Structure 1
Amino acid sequence: MASEAENYIQPSSETGYKVIRRNGKVTEFNSSKIAVALTKAFLAVEGQAAKDSRRIHETVAELTSQVSENLLRRLDDGGTVHIEDIQDQVELALMRAGEYKVARSYVVYREQQSQKRAEEERKHPQPANESTLHVTLADGTRQPLDIERLRNLIDEACEGLAQVDNAAILRDTQRNIFDGVSEKDVEKALIMSARTFIEKDPAYSTLAARLLMDSIRREALSFVYKTPRQASQGEMADQYKDYFKTYVRTAIENELIDSELGLYDLERLGNALKPENDFSFTYLGLQTLYDRYFIHYDGTRFELPQAFYMRVAMGLAINEIDREARAIEFYNLLSSFDFMSSTPTLFNAGTLRPQLSSCYLTTVPDDLSGIYSAMRDNALLSKYAGGLGNDWTRVRGLGAHIKGTNGKSQGVVPFLKVANDTAVAVNQGGKRKGAVCAYLETWHIDVEEFLDLRKNTGDDRRRTHDMNTANWIPDLFMKRVAEEGQWTLFSPEEVPDLHDLTGLGFEKAYAEYEEKAARGEIRNFKTMPATDLWRKMLGMLFETGHPWITFKDPCNLRSPQQHIGVVHSSNLCTEITLNTSDQEIAVCNLGSVNMVQHIDANGKLDKEKLNRTIKTAMRMLDNVIEYNYYSVPQARHSNLLHRPVGLGIMGFQDALYKLRIPYSTEEAVKFADESMEAVSYYAIDASSDLAAERGKYKSYEGSLWSKGILPIDSIKILKEARGEYLQQDESKTMDWDALRDKVKRQGMRNSNTMAIAPTATISNICGVSQSIEPTYQNLFVKSNLSGEFTVINPYMVEDLKQRGLWDDVMINDLKYYDGSLQAIDRVPAELKALYTTAFEMDARWLIEAASRRQKWLDQAQSLNLYMAEPSGKKMDNLYKLAWVRGLKTTYYLRSMGATGAEKTSTAPTTATTAKPSAPPVLKPVAKQEDDFISGEGIDAPKACSILEPDCEACQ
């Protein structure tokens, strides 16, 4: 058997990581010593023959890599790991590799060594470790470790968390610190101790956040008071007000916030702060705020959470008459998590450059000057955290004649490559990656090359590996697919009016151009079966995750602003549908209502609270428009003219949990309908009240609003153009006649009021499920720009506890089954149904719920679709269903990796796989069902991974 484990952890300068030995001494981490120990373990079991075994050498190398990765991946640079943790990981790695004999021998050996140490300690007791440990302060001086303060800090953080073990956290922390440890590393050890327990109970995530708060307080207070200072959460109840005033002065002095904020009544605002809300975060939420949102100077964060929310609220209230009262109103909404503004608003409100808008939509003209002007606009808009959607349909196609040079065009693709590289170069100040989505209409001659942009093969000069892409599909194309008709591709300079035409007008003009092409009057065109192009669209969506499927006609025919322009594309995340032109860059300002916060104790939607929340939220969103910094004049012109905002929702899955409704049911579809009806009603009502107070938006006359046509009424317009291909519910429960009369009488403050964004980061901050997403997994590790975080479903844990099922065995089963309950026999069927995860659902349930929401929305929704095992037939049916059910857009198709699918292939129960009403009968792509996804040459689906830290949707 291998010698005592300490022997393989010997001094080395290979890494910055350190190992704490059992006696508290520290040595450098050296992974090669793990390989030595593993080799000795195999030798002890298999004898000298193992020395020459190639299998053993390969196994040891692989296991060493696994152990090192598992140990170090969640540590900061220079982190420490305890010797026992290394041995635990070696043991786990052997078990997972199926080396059961070696693992058993290793476990027995560890127990023997433990008994020897215990006997030695009995014979020669050592002085308590507490009395010998010292802490190294920032100035290099040493002082004894204050164990009592650690104990008090842990006890305070554990208040109200009955499920956590105070003593275990203290023991684990002491085990992971050493004599001479830095003060910062003591704080890290506390947090890391709590983090390791999160998989056992979600309460440890709250505990880890509270312990992190101690570190954040020390950093912030020491900076603003210019002397080392720390305070407990209890002490902050008295200190927060004084800190807040000092923080504002400090931020103004360092030119980080607008000096106008210093003119507020800071005493009044400080008294309104709620220090107790600092203890309401999950660890993921608070760490995300700390890493990406808090104001900092030279790398030091000195903005505490309640100051952060008040700073945002002050920025949004800066033009109000009683701005202190409004700032407090806005602050209460944000700090309670009832509503959360979008990331750019949180980043920049109250700063010297308040770019608060989330989305910008542009259309690119067909001339060199216009194209590069659009690139410049992209860079300027992206610089301050704006996401971009570009319409490229007007740019002439490959082979088109260029009059100025008498040459031929290289098409749209080379320019898309430049746009891709511009997005990479301008990375939003390091806060998040620059992101853009290019849209192209399905009749463009370059559409087939456009579909290939994200492929990893082919000429890299005609690939855009970082840019998102989306198909902008007219209804006529979908009709041709359903009817197995022909489809013609054109270069836009020969069919210039198609870009601006929609509905029946588009169909008429398109047919005339086809006739011209048949007569030889158009020279640059191509005719092909519509099903072939559709097949390639779905094939590329499967293989690369792009281009997304979005529908031009419902976006336009249901647009309130169709009297004054055309929607030529959606945005980066497919929820914004606003007009664009050479004179107007569309802008949208976003924020989301936290739905779970509006489910009352009786399990009902609290409509009174929802109404109050939305009234304040709509005021906040409208205030963005004047206050906003616009980096290009076309954006300012458009936003002040139309004043669109996008109120959305998040925490939809959490709300279903509180209501005890599985996502894959008619009850969930009904709740999606009724809850969005209420949001729509109150958002329109609030905008109308703002119009009465502040005036209508400038382009109101002639809009659908001015005609008394609300979003629910606009379905009739789409139905007139679509005919039998539209099957969308139109039922309602609220008094819409009264609201129509009110809108006619008072008008609207905003041309558009609603859009459901992905809310990926702000939902993390609030500790709820993203947007309208189903649960990804009930237990998993999430990666984002702040690191890796254990995420566990607290509702599931509570239900399993109540049934006496939550234990270490259940945790291990969840890990093995990738966070799924379906294959765990002892879990009741009703819990399996309630906690069905995204890849275990029939994706048609997502379409059905989205269709019910879409009927109430004046814009669109970011709708991800999940498919564990994509196939041509399934995708064909799913995306046709999305079109027929009246959706305006879809977002990512998310699929599982092959290995994950193998582990979770157990058939779910009937309760989890009930299907919605069958989709309408449309002719399938003839004899092509699964041909294009045969799997040949493809290791696994390439659709966007939900855990991809570089994916904008995951930020």
Structure 2
Amino acid sequence: MAATPERTASTDALTAMRVIRRDGSVSVFDAGKISVAMTKAFLAVEGGDAAASSRLHHVVTELTGQVCASLARHAGAETALHIEHIQDIVELTLMRGEHHKIARAYVLYREDRTRAREARETERPAPEPEPELSVKAEDGTLTPLDWARVTEVVTQAVAGLADTAAEPVLAETRRNIYDGITADELALAQIMAARTLVEQEPGYSYVSARLLLDKLRGEALTYLAGTPRLADQDEMAESYGAYFRDYVRRAVELELLDPELERFDLDRVTAALRPERDLDFGFLGLQTLYDRYFLHHDGTRFELPQAFFLRVAMGLAVREDDREARAIEFYELLSTFHFMASTPTLFNSGTTRPQLSSCFLTTVDDDLDAIFQGYQNNALLAKYSGGLGNDWTPVRGLGAHIKGTNGQSQGVVPFLKIANDTAVAVNQGGKRKGAACAYLETWHVDIEEFLDLRKNTGDERRRTHDMNTANWVPDEFLRRVEADASWTLFSPDEVADLHDLYGTAFAERYREYEAAADRGEIKVFRRVRAVELWRRMLTMLFETGHPWITFKDPCNLRSPQQHNGVVHSSNLCTEITLNTSSDEVAVCNLGSVNLARHVTRDGLDVERLERTVTTAVRMLDNVIDINFYTIEPARRSNLRHRPVGLGLMGHQEALFEQGIALATPEAVEFADRSMEHLSYYAIAASSRLAAERGTYETFDGSLWSRGILPLDSLRLLAQHREGDALDVDFSSTLDWDSLRERVVADGMRNSNVMAIAPTATISNICGVGQSIEPLFRNLFVKSNMSGDFTVVNPHLVRDLKARGLWDEVMVSDLKYFDGSLGAIDRVPDELKALYATAFEVDSRWLVDAASRRQKWIDQAQSLNLYLASPSGRKLDELYRYAWHKGLKTTYYLRAQSATHVEKSTLRGTDGKLNAVAPSAPVPATATAVSPEAEPAACRIEDPDCEACQ
């Protein structure tokens, strides 16, 4: 059988690999056996006629190469592959190749063989005692494997977890170890053994996490002690306080932590540590922390989970009067997953460079010095994990006159290319990819070239493949779209004041400039049909996922700070709406309430929510004073206006807990009421802080100072919109009148209080769905920078178990049907509705829920929209519907790819575990639709997408 170049290279990489067979013997890897096995699988399904088919020969050769390439990515000099793992990759490759019937038959065949082997095992006499195995130390010495400790650690890992047991984990571990295995490989073998069982029982995700925790404990304790040291969970519980003191002392010595942390009353704060909460992580959450958040030195992690949370809490409390009491209060909120601070805060709180802010917004002026200063600002802001939103509208367009050289401008696009490359070069300290979003108003003469920035074809010098883009759309444009009227494009150097105008003032001035153009008083302009430009905007959104659609007028007309400037753009993830200028870089400080921790079967736990929100707002306000500012305009802006963005996550789990299907009026009502309470408590908390600490500097003249709360600002937008252009709900249930009076009397500590961010990574830490997102799949492989993880919806498993429907066949069916219940006949209709996936839900339900939330939010929300079968008409209707519903912004358009979801195999598909050895990420689970060969739009759980981190 001829080999492809890919297969040859992959096979060469595997020639030194050992294969552990089921009987424990070891053989040399042979790619030919994979070809034979797949050929038999095809013949079993397609019949004997396929044997002579040249197509079969070609397909099997190609698939074998893909299997070898996948195995080679996970191969290492000290690694042996188990035969079951190889078969897992074969099955996954068949699934990815859309050979569903072949793969399904292969699954059932493996299950039959497994049962047959188990039956034979019961008939066999007791086996001979297994030979002694040794573990190889770093210096090459061998010591006997302590199987008793392995057994104890696994037994502790399953303790208290329903429907899990130590025996299958130990059996799988035993099958994957060999004489001379390293300590790291032994730890990995236990983790891998547990996670192969996740798809059958979600509880094994916690088992996997606890086994990873055991590895982490050994790594941390050995590093601090200087000699090999192990501790199980019970032993660690007794010594956590002493460990924490050693950890802080060592981190300060390494100049990783602020020496001020050593001056806390460590006896008092360590008494509040709850070691048992180390057991509350799922595998994805703990692996994410291990890879990206825990403090390390030369690659060795020495920060345990509760030390991590306490370090963050102490860092946020460092300037409090009773800082120990506040640190304990903050620790309780973080370690119980009731609230989670944003990624920059988790990275840097308590460190020597506490850059804790999440988002930075800038305006780039039409001046060469300002443009290159903008690049420098982007680099400095991104260095410590900031996401960037850049307003490029002031930069003059293509063909505009340059007075200084008497030449013509090349427009804004060449400058955007440099901004793109800057974001790539400064990768947030090596922790995550640098990320920026460029915004341009729809009247800019370069708007059509701007739409093409993310295309995969054309002049590469005018493409920005690594930078996000967004349209900043005024209401006047959409009015003309609906009226099928013309639209005029201008260069901003001739119409400079349009940049700072919005609402009726913008519309009137814009029409004046059109008349001036008709009189020949404006040199650079172009007329287009508004609906044609709109169609092109939507076409590019469909094809490349960019630019996003965001709405200028709602952002400004409802801004509490409209007395003090203009909102010229949103941020990287479209939830921040703050003023920017040449003098001020807007900064926002984010964190999210875990809504899943604040509901019961009976509904929202409002008392608990109030406690959480009150403490969370205080934590976010503290960020502003503690923060390490890399540029002066950001420091000045943040201290003057003190904006924060309290959001939420776990919304889908909150619905599951109450038994509410997403696509129902009840879900929309819950979105309304839950956000109303969160908004009420957040505004009240900021007002109380103002009474304690003073109002923010520019409070006077703000909407707050005039008693205009977010609900009231919605009426300002309604006044601007004519006729039925705004379709929103004004209902409320709480005592807003008394809160208005309190805000006017006591003021506000923060100019802005709420924003719903994507929360992709911090929701992984907490083990809930991100932000306000719908359920992606009930079973899928999640890919991010920490690897590939089998994700099963535990709520669904619980409900299927209660009905006696959870079995291997159900797992197989979920894989075959891409994690959807819709085609599985034996699942009751009420469960199909409750657990409908994102692409099975009409996105208008998402817009309706977002509209209800938006009336309570002073900033915006990261709202992804989903279309299973996109068309121009559907896109037009959906985005105009979002505008009519009063939304301020939208985010990614998600659409299914031709290959749909990446399938999980029966024995686990996690492609890597960075706790042992990082490797390249495997393809993501779904992509946005594109007519090009390689879809360019954002993919679901894209490991390189900022929103997914």
- Superposed pair shares fold, TM > 0.5: yes
Cα distance between partner residues in 2 of 1:210 and 1:509:
63
Relative to structure 1, the CA distance from residue 404 to residue 685 in structure 2 (aligned partners, 3 Å threshold; closer, same or farther) is same
2:597 aligned residue:
597
Relative to structure 1, the CA distance from residue 121 to residue 889 in structure 2 (aligned partners, 3 Å threshold; closer, same or farther) is same
> Are residues 1:685 and 2:704 paired?
no
What SS does the corresponding residue of 2:493 show, helix, strand or coil? helix
Cα distance between partner residues in 2 of 1:737 and 1:665:
30
2:658 aligned residue:
659
Deviation readout 1:886-915 (Å, 9 max, x if unpaired) = 000000000000233999xxxxxxxxxxxx
Cα distance between partner residues in 1 of 2:356 and 2:461:
35
The within-5 A match list for 1:805-820 is 805-820=805-820
Structure 1 position 227, deviation (Å): 1.1
Cα distance between partner residues in 1 of 2:148 and 2:749:
58
1:670 aligned residue:
669
AA aligned to 2:261 is L
AA aligned to 1:128 is P
Contact 2:135 2:145 in 1 (8 A): yes
AA aligned to 2:678 is V
Structure 1 position 722, deviation (Å): 1.2
Cα distance between partner residues in 2 of 1:807 and 1:646:
43
1:645 aligned residue:
644
Relative to structure 1, the CA distance from residue 77 to residue 472 in structure 2 (aligned partners, 3 Å threshold; closer, same or farther) is farther
Larger mean Cα displacement after TM superposition, 475-484 or 158-167:
158-167
Cα distance between partner residues in 2 of 1:108 and 1:717:
64
2:129 aligned residue:
128
Deviation readout 1:172-226 (Å, 9 max, x if unpaired) = 1000001111111111011001111111111010111011100000000101111
Cα distance between partner residues in 2 of 1:821 and 1:646:
36
Cα distance between partner residues in 2 of 1:12 and 1:116:
38
Relative to structure 1, the CA distance from residue 619 to residue 551 in structure 2 (aligned partners, 3 Å threshold; closer, same or farther) is same
What SS does the corresponding residue of 1:201 show, helix, strand or coil? coil
2:467 aligned residue:
467
AA aligned to 2:941 is L
1:537 aligned residue:
537
Cα distance between partner residues in 1 of 2:819 and 2:416:
39
Larger mean Cα displacement after TM superposition, 893-902 or 261-270:
893-902
The within-5 A match list for 1:386-401 is 386-401=386-401
Contact 1:440 1:471 in 2 (8 A): yes
Contact 2:285 2:767 in 1 (8 A): yes
Deviation readout 1:668-725 (Å, 9 max, x if unpaired) = 0000000000000000000000000000000000000000000100011111111221
2:862 aligned residue:
862
Cα distance between partner residues in 1 of 2:689 and 2:45:
78
Contact 2:814 2:821 in 1 (8 A): yes
Cα distance between partner residues in 2 of 1:207 and 1:226:
28
2:222 aligned residue:
222
AA aligned to 1:944 is C
Contact 1:344 1:357 in 2 (8 A): yes
The within-5 A match list for 1:821-836 is 821-836=821-836
1:231 aligned residue:
231
1:924 aligned residue:
none
> Are residues 1:385 and 2:385 paired?
yes
Structure 1 position 69, deviation (Å): 5.9
What SS does the corresponding residue of 1:444 show, helix, strand or coil? coil
What SS does the corresponding residue of 1:170 show, helix, strand or coil? helix
Cα distance between partner residues in 2 of 1:713 and 1:46:
66
Deviation readout 1:639-686 (Å, 9 max, x if unpaired) = 000000000000000000011100100000000000000000000000
Cα distance between partner residues in 1 of 2:939 and 2:91:
30
1:947 aligned residue:
941
AA aligned to 1:657 is F
Relative to structure 1, the CA distance from residue 516 to residue 97 in structure 2 (aligned partners, 3 Å threshold; closer, same or farther) is closer
Cα distance between partner residues in 2 of 1:837 and 1:45:
30
What SS does the corresponding residue of 2:399 show, helix, strand or coil? strand
Contact 2:42 2:102 in 1 (8 A): no
2:623 aligned residue:
624
Contact 1:691 1:749 in 2 (8 A): yes
2:191 aligned residue:
191
Cα distance between partner residues in 2 of 1:105 and 1:661:
35
Deviation readout 1:454-484 (Å, 9 max, x if unpaired) = 0011111011011100000011001111111
What SS does the corresponding residue of 2:434 show, helix, strand or coil? coil
> Are residues 1:574 and 2:602 paired?
no
AA aligned to 1:558 is R
Relative to structure 1, the CA distance from residue 723 to residue 248 in structure 2 (aligned partners, 3 Å threshold; closer, same or farther) is same
Larger mean Cα displacement after TM superposition, 154-163 or 589-598:
154-163
AA aligned to 1:163 is D
RMSD: 2.8
Larger mean Cα displacement after TM superposition, 36-45 or 491-500:
36-45
> Are residues 1:346 and 2:355 paired?
no
AA aligned to 1:823 is A
Relative to structure 1, the CA distance from residue 732 to residue 91 in structure 2 (aligned partners, 3 Å threshold; closer, same or farther) is closer
Structure 1 position 112, deviation (Å): 13
Contact 1:206 1:281 in 2 (8 A): yes
Larger mean Cα displacement after TM superposition, 70-79 or 373-382:
70-79
Contact 1:660 1:834 in 2 (8 A): yes
Cα distance between partner residues in 1 of 2:305 and 2:824:
41
Relative to structure 1, the CA distance from residue 801 to residue 100 in structure 2 (aligned partners, 3 Å threshold; closer, same or farther) is closer
Contact 2:543 2:931 in 1 (8 A): no
Structure 1 position 70, deviation (Å): 6.5
Cα distance between partner residues in 2 of 1:185 and 1:145:
12
Cα distance between partner residues in 2 of 1:433 and 1:699:
35
Cα distance between partner residues in 2 of 1:732 and 1:783:
40
Give identity over the alignment, percent: 63
Tell me how many residue pairs correspond in the alignment: 911
AA aligned to 1:717 is L
AA aligned to 1:268 is R
2:164 aligned residue:
164
1:262 aligned residue:
262
AA aligned to 2:415 is F
AA aligned to 1:667 is E
Structure 1 position 94, deviation (Å): 8.0
What SS does the corresponding residue of 2:405 show, helix, strand or coil? coil
2:708 aligned residue:
709
Structure 1 position 61, deviation (Å): 1.3
Larger mean Cα displacement after TM superposition, 48-57 or 331-340:
48-57
Contact 1:677 1:856 in 2 (8 A): yes
Deviation readout 1:109-149 (Å, 9 max, x if unpaired) = 97999699979986xx86322x4222223332222222221
What SS does the corresponding residue of 2:899 show, helix, strand or coil? helix
What SS does the corresponding residue of 2:488 show, helix, strand or coil? strand
**Bigger RCO (CA 8 Å, 6+ sep):** 2
Contact 2:45 2:101 in 1 (8 A): no
Contact 1:566 1:579 in 2 (8 A): yes
What SS does the corresponding residue of 2:604 show, helix, strand or coil? coil
Relative to structure 1, the CA distance from residue 57 to residue 613 in structure 2 (aligned partners, 3 Å threshold; closer, same or farther) is same
1:82 aligned residue:
82
Cα distance between partner residues in 2 of 1:443 and 1:108:
62
The within-5 A match list for 1:411-810 is 411-600=411-600, 602-724=601-723, 725-810=725-810
AA aligned to 2:495 is V
The within-5 A match list for 1:901-940 is 938=932
Structure 1 position 945, deviation (Å): 1.0
Relative to structure 1, the CA distance from residue 661 to residue 91 in structure 2 (aligned partners, 3 Å threshold; closer, same or farther) is closer
Cα distance between partner residues in 2 of 1:19 and 1:401:
69
Give structure 1 stretches of 5+ with no counterpart. 1-9, 904-934
Contact 1:542 1:942 in 2 (8 A): no
2:3 aligned residue:
none
2:319 aligned residue:
319
Structure 1 position 168, deviation (Å): 0.8
Relative to structure 1, the CA distance from residue 77 to residue 683 in structure 2 (aligned partners, 3 Å threshold; closer, same or farther) is farther
Cα distance between partner residues in 1 of 2:44 and 2:467:
54
1:55 aligned residue:
55
Relative to structure 1, the CA distance from residue 37 to residue 726 in structure 2 (aligned partners, 3 Å threshold; closer, same or farther) is closer
AA aligned to 2:441 is E
Structure 1 position 47, deviation (Å): 13
What SS does the corresponding residue of 2:900 show, helix, strand or coil? helix
Structure 1 position 57, deviation (Å): 2.9
